[in-house]
Amino acid sequence: MAIPFDNRYAALGEGFFMRTRPTPVPAPALIRFNHELALDLGMDPERMEPEYVARIFSGNEIPEGAEPLAMAYAGHQFGFFTPQLGDGRAILLGEVTGRDGRGYEIHLKGSGRTVFSRNGDGRAPLGPVLREYLVSEAMHRLGVPTTRALAAVTTGEGVFRDRVLPGAVLTRVAGSFVRVGTFEFHARRGDVEAVRKLADHVIGRNYPELAQSDNRYLALLEAVVGRQASLVAKWMGLGFIHGVMNTDNMSILGETIDYGPCAFMDCFDFDRVYSSIDQHGRYAYSNQPGVGLWNLARLAECLALIVDPDMEAAIESVKNILGGFMPAYESAWLEGMRAKCGLFRTDGAAGRPDRRVVDDLLALMAKSGADFTLTFFLLSSLRDRPAAGDEKFLEQFGPMADPVRKWLEEWRAALARQSVGEKRRQEEMRRVNPVYIPRNHLVEAAIRSAEEDDDYSAFHELHEVLQIPYELKRGKERFQLPPVPEEEVRQTFCGT
């Protein structure tokens, strides 16, 4: 079966990538192939034999029409600039046109060394591959823009880390794998023409509606600022911590990209950090909006080179646009959090008192270490008036139950200020407060049984539960529960 490739990134020409073929692996075996996504990408999964899928998505066979390459990019990592990073263990196979008419890039991760590998082996251990598969697909189902997982394949080869781990390759799909760091790569070399070419490429492929703007590069910055503001607000509303928001891990499309040491919070803490390498908490939960803006400022510096020949005017213009980030973020965040609390009144009068209700709840959750997801889930079922269900909700807060009882009064007063019936309000809340998220301990358990016993049943079962995250499913109660202390995952690793 042919995959109809088109390769607009390859057409950018020299300086943007290195043509590189994946390094073959000894025994590719398919773990999972995302049929639904394959269909969306115009493939015919029913006619693709698992052996063929494993050969293609391990890099052992290059499908006709693909032009494999490693993308060049730079990036600010933990605030420090590295002029050349690039795809050190990833290879872009090319681009296909989805059933929606848009272009989607297909990227192998763990497919061998490239010119950008530095000291790395170009490989990926099985654990991080399974984790990215589970979490990125869950994010998609939760309604968060993200790269997708198309396939996961084991390689039959050991990968050397602190111990020998089974190797795997993940195939991911995105509207574009261009990052903020891709712009930085060219800007820092002073290659203004390359910055312009890249910006035109991104506009042409991903933001065609901007092509006619008065200043399309400013319009691009504005669009990216808007998408990132909305993306980070969505993360915050789900208790998601990206963990490594370096500029090379920030997509030009506002999709979540690079699932390394990411985590969904269990017990709530504004300053929560999971990543083992984030020693100073730069990428802590509450820092994410600020870091998002910091990263966008790096993009703005690149685009300033092309928005206006007069540098001072250019800086003024990009600053103005960056100034829109926090207000856009705040408003997306507040709207999302109000919805999580069942507060939907749209007239202007609602904003401030509702904000207090939201802030007070988060403060109480933080003080008591309430489970983020379960608290909002239980809140969704509470009645407009005090009722039996209150007790279960209050239990989440342990010794803080009394102030939470007070908060419930405040909350119910806010509900009474809007004219939304109880049933509809509960339904709307269930649409935004998930039952199931990829809890760290469940992801870890699925990885462990794959790694140690070659048993993928926990991986597949967890994946299935996460496909319908907003509906309770009979018999899957344990997937909803926070970890018991022995199960709790306190630290995550980037798996590079």
Grouping H, G, I as helix, E, B as strand and the rest as coil, residue 478 is helix
Measured from the CB atom, is 263 or 379 closer to Mg ion? 263
Alpha helices in 308-418, H assignment, sequence order: 311-322, 325-340, 351-368, 372-380, 390-395, 401-416
Q: Is 496 in the site for ligand AMP (CB under 6 A)?
A: yes
What are the backbone angles phi and psi of residue 275, rounded to the nearest 5°? -65, 130
Rounded to 10 degrees, the C-alpha dihedral 435/440/442/446 comes to 140
- Binding-site partner at residue 122 among ligand AMP, Mg ion, none, CB < 5 to 8 Å by type: ligand AMP
Question: Which residues, numbered 120-159, are part of the site for ligand AMP (CB under 6 A)?
Answer: 120-123
Query: Among 210-218, 219-227, 247-255, 450-458, which window interacts with Mg ion (CB under 5 A)?
Result: 247-255
Q: Which amino acid type is present at position 42?
A: G
For the bound state, the minimum distance from the C-beta of residue 246 to ligand AMP, rounded and expressed in Å, comes to 7
Per CB under 6 A, the list member of 12, 72, 85, 414 interacting with ligand AMP is: 85
Measured from the CB atom, is 89 or 463 closer to ligand AMP? 89
For the bound state, the minimum distance from the C-beta of residue 189 to Mg ion, rounded and expressed in Å, comes to 20
Distance separating alpha carbons of residues 218 and 323, to the nearest angstrom: 13
Measured from the CB atom, is 286 or 496 closer to Mg ion? 496
Count of residues that interact with ligand AMP, criterion CB under 6 A: 19
Question: Which residues, numbered 229-258, are part of the site for ligand AMP (CB under 6 A)?
Answer: 244, 248-249, 258
Q: How far is CA 427 from the centre of its chain?
A: 26
Q: Is 260 in the site for ligand AMP (CB under 6 A)?
A: yes
Distance separating alpha carbons of residues 419 and 274, to the nearest angstrom: 41
- Binding-site partner at residue 120 among ligand AMP, Mg ion, none, CB < 5 to 8 Å by type: ligand AMP
Query: Angle, to 10 degrees, between the axis of helix 288-307 and the axis of helix 325-340?
Result: 140
Place of tokens 């691009």: 220
Tokens found for residue 114 = 């490239």
Instruction: Identify the helix (H) or strand (E) that includes residue 345.
Output: none
Grouping H, G, I as helix, E, B as strand and the rest as coil, residue 148 is strand
Compute the residue count for the chain: 496
Per CB under 6 A, the list member of 28, 59, 68, 86 interacting with ligand AMP is: 86
C-alpha closest to that of 126 among 400, 460, 456: 456
What angle is formed at CA 235 by the lines to CA 231 and CA 241, rounded to 5 degrees?
125
- Binding-site partner at residue 350 among Mg ion, ligand AMP, none, CB < 5 to 8 Å by type: none
Q: Which residues contact 279 (CB under 8 A, 6 or more apart)?
A: none
Q: Which residues contact 270 (CB under 8 A, 6 or more apart)?
A: 284, 285, 286, 362, 366
Measured from the CB atom, is 58 or 249 closer to Mg ion? 249
Per CB under 6 A, the list member of 89, 172, 201, 205 interacting with ligand AMP is: 89
Grouping H, G, I as helix, E, B as strand and the rest as coil, residue 38 is helix
Q: Is 171 in the site for Mg ion (CB under 5 A)?
A: no
Measured from the CB atom, is 63 or 122 closer to ligand AMP? 122
Q: Which residue is nearest to ligand AMP (CB)?
A: 120
Q: Where are the beta strands (DSSP E) in 230-356?
A: 240-241, 263-264
Per CB under 5 A, the list member of 87, 184, 258, 371 interacting with Mg ion is: 258
What angle is formed at CA 88 by the lines to CA 180 and CA 22, rounded to 5 degrees?
125
Percent helix, percent strand, percent coil in the chain, to nearest 5 = 50, 15, 40
Is 200 part of the annotated catalytic residue set?
no
- Binding-site partner at residue 24 among Mg ion, ligand AMP, none, CB < 5 to 8 Å by type: none
Structural Rg of the chain based on CA atoms: 23
Q: Is 184 in the site for ligand AMP (CB under 6 A)?
A: no
Measured from the CB atom, is 160 or 270 closer to ligand AMP? 160
For the bound state, the minimum distance from the C-beta of residue 249 to Mg ion, rounded and expressed in Å, comes to 5
Measured from the CB atom, is 400 or 494 closer to ligand AMP? 494
Measured from the CB atom, is 157 or 487 closer to ligand AMP? 157
| Catalytic hit among 40, 248, 258, 371 | 248
Distance separating alpha carbons of residues 344 and 354, to the nearest angstrom: 10
Per CB under 6 A, the list member of 5, 41, 66, 87 interacting with ligand AMP is: 87
Q: Which residue is nearest to Mg ion (CB)?
A: 258
Q: Is 249 in the site for Mg ion (CB under 5 A)?
A: yes
Question: Which residues, numbered 101-120, are part of the site for ligand AMP (CB under 6 A)?
Answer: 116-117, 120
Query: Among 165-173, 254-262, 328-336, 467-475, which window interacts with Mg ion (CB under 5 A)?
Result: 254-262
Query: Angle, to 10 degrees, between the axis of helix 216-238 and the axis of helix 325-340?
Result: 30
**Taking CB under 6 A as the rule, which mask of x and - marks residues 456-485 in contact with ligand AMP?**
------------------------------
Binding site for Mg ion (CB under 5 A): 249, 258
Catalytic residues: 248
Residues in contact with ligand AMP by the rule CB under 6 A: 85-90, 116-117, 120-123, 244, 248-249, 258, 260, 494, 496
